[in-house]
């Protein structure tokens, strides 16, 4: 009994010494970006491809991770300001973001699609040549890209900005907008959830997803890059894809 107590005491003491305690990193997520990151309706807990991947990596690499919902528009600032330590939440690696944060190696590639109501006849060419209403999520790489394209090419659409992709999908279904531009996986997720929408076609170049970390945070970057290499060589990687990314 006494031995046990001493062991427990020793263990407790050791765990409180920084060199032995596992570091905890806060992952900022968009809680409304299925299938990569979202809050599960049933459990109320963060869920998704990026959440499970990061939990596996943390366990394998010996650190702790907690997932904290943060508004997407401003999430990069939250990282720079140390409110969070990383963003593993379907974030595209962009030159603009690179000015403020560093990125892990890319771990996924996504194409961008136009999503339209299920009964719509709009083609991508129509969307770019008619005065329609086009929805995008605020603060995304696709919002930046399409704004820039519109400026250069004078497209006649009116852009509408949303806090999340599911909110844009709701307005598509209600007829408040004619089309939405988003990554193909959240679009596929909306279709799989039975929303009356369909993909009208791909637009632009694919994006690479990476985990954002604070500038110069080499320690965490190494843990994440090494963690992804291990994960990608593990059968769990295929399992995760089948669970989340097969739509
Ligand atoms: N391509 C987009 C970006 O990186 C996806 C953004 C949406 N991701 C998210 N978790 N909301 O900006």
Give every CB contact of residue 231 below 8 A, 6+ residues apart in sequence.
Answer: 53, 56, 57, 60, 237
- ipTM score over 0.85, yes or no: yes
* Cβ of 140 below 6 Å from ligand 1: yes
Q: Which atom of ligand 1 is nearest to the CA of 141?
A: 12
Share of the chain above pLDDT 70, in %: 93
Q: Classify residue 1: in a domain, yes or no.
A: no
Which structural domain range is residue 115 located in?
111-206
| CB of residue 27 inside a 6 A radius of ligand 1 | no
Please give the distance, rounded to the nearest whole angstrom, from the Cα atom of residue 128 to the centre of ligand 1.
Answer: 22
pLDDT < 50 positions in the chain: none
Model pTM?
Answer: 0.88
> Is residue 42 one of the residues assigned to a domain?
yes
Alpha-carbon distance 84 to 212, whole Å? 10
Is 105 found in the same domain as 32?
Answer: yes
Whether 123 and 188 map to the same domain: the answer is yes
Q: What's the 95 CA to ligand 1 centre distance in angstroms?
A: 14
Query: How many domains does the chain contain in total?
Result: 2
Residue 28 shares a structural domain with residue 142: no
What local confidence, expressed as pLDDT, does residue 7 receive?
66
pLDDT of residue 16: 62
Task: Report pLDDT for 10.
Answer: 66
CATH number at residue 220: 3.40.190.10
| 7 falls within a domain | no
The answer to whether position 234 is within a domain reads yes
Nearest CA to ligand 1 atom 6: 140
Domain shared by 80 and 117, yes or no: no
Instruction: Check whether residue 89 and residue 34 sit in a common domain.
Output: yes
Distance 53 CA to ligand 1 centre (A): 17
The verdict on the CB of residue 143 being under 6 Å from ligand 1 is no
Q: Give distance in angstroms: CA of 20 to centre of ligand 1.
A: 36
**pLDDT for the residue 247:** 72
Our mutation pick for probing the ligand 1 site, out of 37, 91, 145, counting the most ligand atoms within 8 A of Cβ, is 91
């Amino acid at each position: 009994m006494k031995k046990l107590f001493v062991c427990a005491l020793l263990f407790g003491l050791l765990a409180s010494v920084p060199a032995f305690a596992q570091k905890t990193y806060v992952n900022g997520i968009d809680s409304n970006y299925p299938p990569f990151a979202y809050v599960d309706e049933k459990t109320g807990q963060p869920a998704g491809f990026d959440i499970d991947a990061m939990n596996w990596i943390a366990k394998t690499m010996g650190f702790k991770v907690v997932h904290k919902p943060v508004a997407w528009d401003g999430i990069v600032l939250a990282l720079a300001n140390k409110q969070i330590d990383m963003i593993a939440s379907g974030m595209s690696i962009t030159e603009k973001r690179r000015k403020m944060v560093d990125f892990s190696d890319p771990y996924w590639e996504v194409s961008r699609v136009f999503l339209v109501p299920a009964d719509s006849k709009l083609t991508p060419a129509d969307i770019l040549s008619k005065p329609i209403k086009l929805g995008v999520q605020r603060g995304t790489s696709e919002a930046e890209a399409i704004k820039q394209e519109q400026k250069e090419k004078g497209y006649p659409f009116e852009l509408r900005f949303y806090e999340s992709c599911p909110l844009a999908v709701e307005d598509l279904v209600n007829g408040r907008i004619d089309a939405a531009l988003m990554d193909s996986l959240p679009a596929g997720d909306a279709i799989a959830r039975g929303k009356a929408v369909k993909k009208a076609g791909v637009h632009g170049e694919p994006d690479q997803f990476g985990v954002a970390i604070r500038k110069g945070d080499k320690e965490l970057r190494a843990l994440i890059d090494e963690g992804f290499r291990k994960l990608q060589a593990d059968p769990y990687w295929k399992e995760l894809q089948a669970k989340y990314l097969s739509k």
